[in-house]
Amino acid sequence: MSRSKLIVVSAPSGGGKTSIVKEILARHPEFEFSVSGTTRTKRPNEIDGVDYFFLSKKEFERLIQKDELAEHELIYGNYYGTLKREIDRAVSSNKTMVFDVDVKGGLSIKKLYGGTAVLIFIEPPSIAVLEQRLRNRKTEDEETFRKRMERVALELEMGQQFDFHVVNDMLAQAIDEVDEIIKKQIQS
């Protein structure tokens, strides 16, 4: 049986999960990151094939047709999906793989992989803080910002089904907490 763990980190948009995932990967070079496919436009600091596989809508729909995605969601008008081959890569080599996916995607991964998947939900200290963080990030135009905030309530509710909850008030502390959870899960 594979000893790999699929560590899913989800949070509402602006919840700080990307910072947390990046730091966890820096602390554990032996972990793999599941590079998702997306049709969203690349941000200036992102690298194709590292942060995401940036795909056209047509390319993404081909992946759906060919059943190459473990799960996919339409989020804020763009497709995002986890590639089966990324997961297979981790499972076949007994590696721990880290996922930065939305809440629904996390629950789908749990359904498919059961106890191999560990779901960690990052909660904002409050909705007001979350809104401010998302504004400070300045990666969104007003329309996208509104769409992201509308989805927050749903995400917070669905996040209750996750295995672990970490409040991201102080980022450094949240990272340590996530790290502890992962270490314990890997040993179990």
Closest CA to 43 of 144, 131, 122: 144
Q: How far is the CB of 104 from ligand 5GP (least distance, A)?
A: 6
Q: How far is the CB of 82 from ligand 5GP (least distance, A)?
A: 4
Count helices and strands in the chain by DSSP H and E runs: 7, 9
H or E segment to which residue 37 belongs? strand 36-38
Choices 72-80, 119-127, 161-169, 172-180; region in contact with ligand 5GP by CB under 6 A: 72-80
- Mask of contacts with ligand 5GP, 81-100, x by CB under 6 A? xx-----------------x
Longest dimension (CA), the chain: 48
Q: Which is nearer to ligand 5GP, 46 or 180 (CB)?
A: 46
Side-chain-side CA neighbours of residue 155 (13 Å):
27
Q: Which is nearer to ligand 5GP, 16 or 105 (CB)?
A: 105
Q: Is 162 in the site for ligand 5GP (CB under 6 A)?
A: no
The site that binds ligand 5GP (CB under 6 A) totals a number of residues, namely: 14
What is the C-alpha to C-alpha distance for residues 59 and 37, in angstroms, rounded to an integer?
10
Q: Which of residues 113-152 bind ligand 5GP (CB under 6 A)?
A: none
- Nearest residue to ligand 5GP, by Cβ distance, number only: 105
Q: How far is the CB of 99 from ligand 5GP (least distance, A)?
A: 7
What DSSP line would sit under 113-181, residue for residue? HGGGEEEEEEEPS-HHHHHHHHHHH--S-HHHHHHHHHHHHHHHHHGGGSSEEEE-SSHHHHHHHHHHH
Q: Which of residues 10-69 bind ligand 5GP (CB under 6 A)?
A: 13, 36, 40
* Binding footprint of ligand 5GP on the chain (CB under 6 A): 13, 36, 40, 71, 73, 75, 80-82, 100-102, 104-105
